[in-house]
Structure 1
C-alpha cells in the first residue's frame, strides 16, 4: 500500500485491495492480541502474584490486593487515552500504536523480573503497581488506534465485519494468556513453576513485542489521517475539541455509560468472574478450570465476528441492545447452572447443612490484616473456604460467636476448628474435576456468556469509529471507552470479590454486573441512534451518526 494511493482527493473514498485489508486486519489484530495478553497475564496468574508480591495472613486481603493492582492498570487507561488520543489525532494512528505496544511489552516483561516481597520487601508491590500503571497507559492508546486504523481502511457495508476481528482479538489475548500458562505448567515440575517458572509468561512478552513491531512497521498510515494532514485539517487541540465539537458531549455520554461500561462488565464477568468462581467457591481443579474457560472463550470468539457482520446488515444498535436484554435475563441462571455441576457434593452439603453464625460485633472486614473480633475471624475463615453463611446478630457488648452447621452447634471461637467440623458434616474442600457431563454444562454456560459478550462487543469498534468526526476520532473514541472499561470493568473483580466476602454468597457479586448492564441497556435503547452513512465518509473514513 503506497502513500500516494492512500491519499485521496477531498471527498473521495479510497478502496484498499483485499490484500491490503488482510494485512491491516492481521497486523492490527495480532498486536491487539499480544497487548491484551500482556495485560491479562496478570489476572490469569492472580493467585501466584498475590503470594509473591502481596503476601498477607488474611487470604481474602491478599486476593483483594491482587485485584486492586489489576484495577490500578485499568484506572490509568483513561489517562493513556487522553495522552495517546492526542498523539493519534496529531501525529497519526500508525506511530501512536507502535509506541503503545512497545510500552506494554516492556512493562509486562518487567513484572516477570521483579524480586518477590520476601526478597525486597515493600518495594516489590510498589514496583508492580508502577508497571501496572505503565500497562494501563499503553492500553489506553492501543485499542482506539487499532480499531480506528481498521475502520478507516474499511469500505462502507463491511466495517462491522472487518473491525469485529479487533474485538475478537481482545478475547484472543485472554485465550493466549491461558494457553501460555497451561503450556508452561505442563513443561515444568510443580516446584519449578511455583518458585520461578510463573515468570516465564511475562518474559515471553518480549518475543510477542518483536513480532508485533515487525508486522506493524510494514503498515502505511491511515488514509483518513493522510488526507486530513494533506489538507491541513488536523485538530489543534483534540482533547478540547472532543468535548466542544457539536453533538460530541452527548455521543461521549452514550459511548461511556451506554456502550463501554455495559459491554466490558459482561465480558469480564464471563471470563474473570467465571474463572474465579470455578477455582474458588466451586473448588474446581485449577488446570481443568483454565482449560474449560479457555476453550469456551476461544469458541466464543466466533460470536464477536458474527455480531460484527450482522451489524453491517441490521445496524449497530440492535445486536447490542439484544445482548444487554438477554444478559439481564440469563446472567444469574447461567452461573447457577455452572454452580449446580461445578462441585455437586459441595453444593449439596451447603443446602443440606447450612451455616449460621451468631454473635455480637459480627462483621468481617476484608481489608484488615487481622479481624478484631471472634465473629470476624470466623467469617474470614468461612470466606476463605468459600462456604456460604448467614449472620444473626445477637445483643450484648461482649465478643462472642456461635456457629451452627445444619442446626448442630460447633466450636466457633477457634477458626481452625471450622474446617474439620464442616468436613464432618459432608463438606469436601478437595479440588475436583467435574465429570464429562458437568464439564459439558460448564462449557455451555460459559459459551452462553461469551455469546452475550459477543453481541454487545462485536459491533462496537465500527460503531464508536462511526460516532465521531475524523479529526478528533482517536481522542473522542478512546476517552469514553477507557473510562467505561477502565473503571466499570477494571474494578469489577475487586468490587465483586468484596461483595462476596461481605455477604458470604458466591453469586452476590453478579449484582454489580447486573446493575451496570441495566443502566447501559436503558441508555442504549433510548438514546443511541444508528449511524447514517455518508456524512463523514472520506478516504475510507467512517460515517457520522445523527445522534
Structure 2
C-alpha cells in the first residue's frame, strides 16, 4: 500500500468511527440472535407445548441450535462475496437480513393460535438469522482488524468481542425489567415479544451508521490487482498452508471460544434455572454480574496479547477451561443447592466468584480472537478463509452445545455428565494449539 493513501484514509475516516459502526452492528446481530437463547425457557412451552417440561426445553434449544447449524452456509456465501465485492456491501446485507427475521419473531403467532405452523415458521426465521450471523460474525472481525493497522491490533479489536456479552446483557436487562413491570400473564401473552420489537429501532440505527462507512484499505489495495473478482473459497482448500490454518482456527481457536462462550454466557443460565432450580430472576441478576465482569477482562486479554503474543494468551485460556470447567459447574450446583436450603447470601457470593473465574477463561480465548482470526490468512483470501471455519465452529460446536449437554444429562440421569463433552474437546484443542498454533501478532495485514 502506498504511503500517501493510508494516512489520507485515516484522516477522513477515523478508526473510532469504523470501530463504533462495526461493533454496533455486531452487537445488534448478537442481541437478535441470543435474545432467543435468553428466552428459551419461556418460548419452549409457547411454541413446543408438551406434557414433559424437558421435552419442551430440548425442542426450544434445538431451535436455537438450528440457527447455529446454518451459520457455516452463511459464512461460505457471504465470506466469498466479501472477498469479491468488498467487506462493506456484505455488512449491509447481513444486518438487514438479521433485523427482518428478528422483528418477525416478535410478531409470530404461538402454537395455541396457529398450531403446527408456529414452530415451523419459528424454525424458518431462525434459519434466516443463522445465515445472517454467518456472514456478519467473523467478517466483522476481518473488517475491523484491517482498519486497525499493524500496531496494538489485539487491544483495538478486543472491543468487538464485547458485543456478544453486551447483546446478552441488553437482552437480559430488558427481560428482567419486563418481568418486574408486568404480571406473569402479561409477560407470557405479549411481554416476551418486546425485545424482538426493539431490534427494529436498533436495526435502523445500525443501518444508518454503516451506510456512511468506507471499504477497508486492504481490500481497496486488492482491487488494483488482477484477482479482485476471483472467488477464493475453493482456492483456500487447494493451498496447504491456508487449509492447515483454517483447521487450526476451527479446532483450536474458534471452537474453544465458542464452547467457553456458550458454557459461560448461555448454558450457565440454563443450568442454574433448570438443574439447580434457582429462581429465574435471581439467575438473570447473576448473569448480569458475570457479563459485566467479562468486559474489562476481555479488553485486558486483547492488550496482553499485543505484549506477549496471541498464542500464550489463547492457549492459557483453553488449558484452564479444559481443567476447571467441570469442577466449576460442580461448585455452582453445590453452592446453589446450599443457597436454596439455607437462604444465605454467602452462597450467592460464592456462585458469583465461580462465574467470574469462568469469565476469565473465556476472556483469554476471545480477547485476541478478532485479531488472530484475520492475521492467520493473506489479504486476498482472508474474508472467506476466516469466516468459514469460525462459523463452522461457532455453529456446529458451540451452537449445539446446550442441546448436546442437556441431552447427555437426560440420558445419563445426572446434571453434570454432559459437561464431559466440552471438557474433552477443550483438552484436545489445548494440546493441538500448544504444538501447532503459529504466533501472528507481528504479522502485517497488507501482506
1:313 to 290, 307, 317: 307
The answer on 1:481 being equivalent to 2:390 is: yes
Deviations 1:245-302 (CA, angstroms, capped at 9, x unpaired)? 3511101110111111111111111122210111112111111101111221122121
- Paired with 1:19 and 1:107, the residues of 2 have a C-alpha distance of 31
C-alpha change, 1:11 and 1:266, in structure 2 (3 Å) is farther
**Partner of 1:472 in structure 2?**
381
- Tell me how far 1:9 sits from its aligned partner: 2.7
Please, what is the CA RMSD of the aligned residues?
1.9
**Partner of 1:181 in structure 2?**
175
Correspondences of 1:83-94 after superposition (within 5 Å):
83-94=77-88
The answer on 1:210 being equivalent to 2:204 is: yes
Correspondences of 1:177-326 after superposition (within 5 Å):
177-234=171-228, 236-326=230-320
- Paired with 1:109 and 1:85, the residues of 2 have a C-alpha distance of 25
Partner SS for 1:324: helix
**Partner of 2:59 in structure 1?**
65
For the 8 Å contact 2:138–2:391, the answer to whether it is kept is no
Number of aligned residue pairs: give it: 446
- Paired with 1:316 and 1:328, the residues of 2 have a C-alpha distance of 19
Query: What runs of 5+ residues in structure 1 fail to find an aligned partner?
Result: 1-7, 349-431
For the 8 Å contact 1:235–1:472, the answer to whether it is kept is no
Q: Is 82-91 or 523-532 further displaced after alignment?
A: 523-532
1:515 to 424, 428, 444: 424
**Partner of 2:351 in structure 1?**
442
- Tell me how far 1:157 sits from its aligned partner: 2.6
**Partner of 1:4 in structure 2?**
none
**Partner of 1:53 in structure 2?**
47
Deviations 1:475-507 (CA, angstroms, capped at 9, x unpaired)? 100000011110110110110100111122111
- Paired with 2:218 and 2:105, the residues of 1 have a C-alpha distance of 37
- Paired with 2:391 and 2:52, the residues of 1 have a C-alpha distance of 32
**Partner of 1:493 in structure 2?**
402
**Partner of 1:529 in structure 2?**
438
Correspondences of 1:388-399 after superposition (within 5 Å):
none
Deviations 1:215-265 (CA, angstroms, capped at 9, x unpaired)? 111211111111111334325122112212351110111011111111111
Partner SS for 1:230: coil
1:452 to 361, 374, 379: 361
For the 8 Å contact 2:75–2:134, the answer to whether it is kept is yes
C-alpha change, 1:504 and 1:96, in structure 2 (3 Å) is same
Correspondences of 1:28-43 after superposition (within 5 Å):
28-43=22-37
Partner SS for 2:357: helix
**Partner of 1:140 in structure 2?**
134
2:144 to 144, 150, 170: 150
**Partner of 1:163 in structure 2?**
157
**Partner of 1:328 in structure 2?**
322
- Paired with 1:521 and 1:18, the residues of 2 have a C-alpha distance of 43
- Paired with 2:232 and 2:360, the residues of 1 have a C-alpha distance of 35
- Tell me how far 1:43 sits from its aligned partner: 0.6
- Tell me how far 1:17 sits from its aligned partner: 5.3
Partner SS for 1:108: helix
For the 8 Å contact 2:372–2:441, the answer to whether it is kept is no
The answer on 1:172 being equivalent to 2:166 is: yes
- Tell me how far 1:436 sits from its aligned partner: 2.4
Deviations 1:379-419 (CA, angstroms, capped at 9, x unpaired)? xxxxxxxxxxxxxxxxxxxxxxxxxxxxxxxxxxxxxxxxx
Query: What runs of 5+ residues in structure 2 fail to find an aligned partner?
Result: none
For the 8 Å contact 1:270–1:449, the answer to whether it is kept is yes
**Partner of 1:338 in structure 2?**
332
For the 8 Å contact 2:158–2:299, the answer to whether it is kept is yes
Whichever structure has more helix as a proportion of its residues is 2
- Paired with 2:416 and 2:60, the residues of 1 have a C-alpha distance of 20
- Tell me how far 1:190 sits from its aligned partner: 2.0
TM-score by structure 1 length? 0.79
For the 8 Å contact 1:94–1:145, the answer to whether it is kept is no
- Tell me how far 1:195 sits from its aligned partner: 1.2
Q: Return the index of the structure with the highest Cα Rg.
A: 1
- Paired with 1:532 and 1:241, the residues of 2 have a C-alpha distance of 25
C-alpha change, 1:522 and 1:57, in structure 2 (3 Å) is same
- Paired with 2:122 and 2:349, the residues of 1 have a C-alpha distance of 37
TM-score by structure 2 length? 0.96
Correspondences of 1:367-382 after superposition (within 5 Å):
none
C-alpha change, 1:245 and 1:16, in structure 2 (3 Å) is farther
- Paired with 1:60 and 1:12, the residues of 2 have a C-alpha distance of 59
For the 8 Å contact 2:318–2:365, the answer to whether it is kept is yes
Partner SS for 2:415: coil
The answer on 1:9 being equivalent to 2:8 is: no
